[in-house]
Amino acid sequence: MHKFIDMILFFSIYSFMGWAMESIFAVIKERKFINRGFLTGFFCPIYGFGAVIIIQSSKWVFSIFGNHYAGPMVNILLAVILVTVLEYITGFLLERIFNCKWWDYSSDALNFHGYICLKYSLLWGLLSFLLMQVVHPVILRTVSLIPANVKSHLAIFLLLYFMADTVKSVGDALDLRNVILNYSNISVNGYYKKIIRYKRLFLAFPRLLILNAGIINLDIRSILNDRMDKLKVKLKSKFLL
């Protein structure tokens, strides 16, 4: 039970760290804050799941190779394979459930169905090395200092939070999909308001495409860009007065 609680805490910590890393990268690239990730809160679960998989697989590798020099190399290779498979499954399931392609690596070399590519698989390998050699030993020591009863309550709170956030985020994504696919039955003003309401998802996933929506995807981008242009004009006029 204690190991399960620790895994929940590790999952939460690395989900947050993944979100922070993604958001910092977006700030550097876009010059503005963007809340990255599928969930509304400050977490990217794919990083949490990836980290837990890497941690568990490293235990299996160590049990076989011990302190042999081949152990770390096998661990990194296994981590690359497992996390790449996780990324593929995540992209595939998200597309089937929401009829949306949340990211697309089709333009990157050696990609597979646009869900995964060699560049990001190698990046997962680098992150797994840093995780096991630098980050996780510190996190492990820190978590071990937390009293057992505090960890239990914290794990329950985090589980409830993730469940609530997942329900809300899934509901928002399904509503957005329905709005876009049934846009002809919605007033222009209502359609515009819905797109603006869910603009966070388009900012968080710049390559997000609604499948079988054709030119509607371009229409969505024009709405968001038009809104940003109007906001810039409004701010400029405010400061000039």
Q: Which of 89-93, 174-178, 231-235 has the lowest mean pLDDT?
A: 231-235
Q: How far apart are CA 134 and CA 221, in angstroms?
A: 40
Question: Which pLDDT does position 33 carry in this prediction?
Answer: 84
Which residues, 6 or more positions from 190, have their beta carbon under 8 angstroms from its beta carbon? none
Question: Which pLDDT does position 191 carry in this prediction?
Answer: 75
**Which range marks the domain in which residue 214 is found?**
2-240
Inform me whether the pLDDT recorded for 216 exceeds 60.
no
Degrees to nearest 5, angle at CA 142 with 140 and 144: 70
Position 38, amino acid: F
Which tens digit of pLDDT belongs to each residue from 68-117? 778 888 989 999 999 999 999 999 999 888 888 888 898 899 999 999 99
Pick 79 or 213 by higher pLDDT: 79
Which tens digit of pLDDT belongs to each residue from 128-162? 999 999 999 999 999 999 999 999 999 999 999 99
Q: How many domains does the chain have?
A: 1
Question: Which pLDDT does position 222 carry in this prediction?
Answer: 63
* Residue-wise DSSP of 168-198: HHHHHHHHHHHHHHTGGGS-HHHHHHHHHHT
Q: Which H or E run includes 91?
A: helix 70-98
Q: How far apart are CA 42 and CA 23, in angstroms?
A: 9
* CA distances to 3, 9, 45, 82, 137 from 152, in Å: 11, 10, 20, 29, 21
pTM for this one? 0.83
Which tens digit of pLDDT belongs to each residue from 189-209? 777 777 778 888 877 887 776
Which residues, 6 or more positions from 106, have their beta carbon under 8 angstroms from its beta carbon? 114
Beta bridge partners of 112: 116
Query: Do 53 and 78 contact (CB within 8 A), yes or no?
Result: no
Query: Do 23 and 33 contact (CB within 8 A), yes or no?
Result: yes
Q: How far apart are CA 125 and CA 120, in angstroms?
A: 9
Query: Do 104 and 209 contact (CB within 8 A), yes or no?
Result: yes
Inform me whether the pLDDT recorded for 121 exceeds 80.
yes
Q: Which of 145-149, 157-161, 163-167, 175-179 has the lowest mean pLDDT?
A: 175-179
Greatest Cα pair distance in the chain: 71
Average pLDDT, the chain: 84
Inform me whether the pLDDT recorded for 9 exceeds 60.
yes
Question: Which pLDDT does position 234 carry in this prediction?
Answer: 42
Question: Which pLDDT does position 231 carry in this prediction?
Answer: 39
Position 37, amino acid: G
Inform me whether the pLDDT recorded for 188 exceeds 90.
no
Provide the token pair at 95: 């597309």
DSSP state, 205?
-
Q: How far apart are CA 127 and CA 16, in angstroms?
A: 15
